[in-house]
């Protein structure tokens, strides 16, 4: 069964991880998101339940 032969897949995995760590990751690390998350707690709004006439 060719799926059990790790020789070509190991090379593909190694090359993809090297590509990620050498090329893609340095471009993503200096990225600053435009909307920084705030530490302000969100207000929880409570909506009243409806008064159904047939219950």
Q: What was the pLDDT predicted at 55?
A: 60
Tokens of 52: 């159904």
Q: Compare 9 and 55 and report the one with higher pLDDT.
A: 9
Q: Compare 29 and 3 and report the one with higher pLDDT.
A: 29
Burial track 25-44 (b if 16+ CB lie within 10 A, e otherwise): eeeeeeeeeeeeeeeeeeee
Interval 11-16 mean pLDDT: 91
Task: Give the pTM.
Answer: 0.46
Q: What was the pLDDT predicted at 27?
A: 86
The predicted-structure confidence for 17-46, as pLDDT tens digits, reads as follows 999 889 888 888 888 878 877 787 778 888
């Amino acid at each position: 069964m060719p799926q059990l032969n790790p020789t070509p897949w190991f090379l593909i995995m190694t090359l993809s991880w090297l590509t990620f760590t050498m090329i893609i990751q340095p471009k993503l690390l200096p990225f600053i998101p435009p909307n920084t998350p705030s530490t302000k707690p969100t207000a929880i709004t409570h909506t009243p339940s409806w008064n159904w006439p047939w219950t």
